[in-house]
Amino acid sequence: MSFSRRHFLQTISAAAATTAFHPPVPAIKPPRLKPGDTVALVGPAAPAFSHETVQITVESLQALGFKTVVAKHVFDRYGYLAGTDADRAADLNAMFADSGVNAIMAMHGGWGCARLLPLLDYNLIRRNPKVLVGYSDITALLLGIYAQTGLITMHGPVGAVTWNPFTVNYLRQTLMDGQAVLMDNPHDKGDLLAQTKDRITTLHPGKARGRLLGGNLTVLSHLMGTKYLPDWKGSILFLEDIGEDVYRMDRMITQLRLAGVLDEISGFVFGKCTDCDPGKGYGSLTMEDVFRDHIVPLRKPAYSGAMIGHITHKFTVPVGIEAEMDADTGTIRLLEPAVR
């Protein structure tokens, strides 16, 4: 390798090291939600292609006692995006600026949130903290806004989810009641001798404490090396994904390991990887193999199977809040309320 090529690679590596991790900023908790508050529905990624789905979301939020407002560009269409980057970012900035809006919820995931990160007004967001909730591609906003402002964001339902009692109860307890919630999977065996659904698997026993950080693995891994990820030191990393071949999951978790993220964390929680089975063909690893290769050797508390992901029954997980995880019982306990 020539000197110039070696010098170039060393420079790139040093730049990545200086931009990938940032010291924790002081946490800002959003005000808790109460009946009569207004929830804004935004489309930071995919467009809302069904007026009926939006109406069902509006009626569901009204049933919880909230008023709603639909952002200007939710039904816009620019290919697979809900309008241009500038318009989608303008909706987000406008909803943070609007004193009549108390919470912001994404209607859909999809792709496109990372494109908005350079366009957001972080000083505005810092001055007007409010609940921001979503999952999947919304991970880019949850982590980026937390890293830039310290605002506690919420990895939870988008508007188009199934509004079932499990999901609603965790949302209410976390965002309205202000409880230091215990996140515990269902334990219903039905008429079977052993539980088959929503099981947890202990990868390495023990308890760990730290700030809850994470979200969708694909989105998170594609933000590596940017200023839109927080410092991972001492954190509890939670991950989920959907529709990825196992080798892709292996590749992305390998990236986190090579980037030093897995060395920094205090504990690891994996939710669900929906439709991520090995499939047909020769030689595929399983997700169990991937965890055995990358997570178990860390010898840090770790478990999989949490109700986090592209599933109908889901936790609301505050990004940036101190928590304790128990890999033996498969639980996460907030050590403080996520809202004020």
Q: Is the Cβ–Cβ distance between 322 and 210 less than 8 Å? A: yes
**Which DSSP letter does residue 28 get?**
B
Strand 182-184 relative to strand 331-334, pairing: antiparallel
Coil vs helix vs strand at 168? helix
Question: Is 310 annotated as catalytic?
Answer: yes
Query: Active site includes 240?
Result: yes
Catalytic, out of 108, 155, 204, 310 = 310
φ/ψ (deg, to 5) at 57: -65, -45
Rounded CA separation 288/134 (Å): 27
For residue 214, is it left (φ>0), alpha (ψ between -120 and 50) or beta?
left
Contact 215, 308 (CB under 8 A): no
120: burial class by Cβ within 10 Å (0-12, 13-18, 19+)? buried
Q: Cα–Cα distance between 107 and 122 in angstroms, integer?
A: 22
Q: Which of 73, 136, 221, 304 is catalytic?
A: 136
Q: Is 320 helix (H, G, I), strand (E, B) or coil?
A: coil
User: Among 315, 334, 144, which residue's Cα sits nearest to residue 240?
Assistant: 315
> Which value, in Å, is the radius of gyration of the alpha carbons in the chain?
20
- For the chain, give the longest Cα–Cα distance: 68
Provide the 10 A C-beta neighbour count for residue 59: 11
- Catalytic residue, chosen from 108, 155, 204, 240, is 240
- Angstrom CA distances, 60 to 226, 313, 320, stand at 37, 15, 27
Task: Supply the residues annotated as catalytic.
Answer: 136, 240, 310
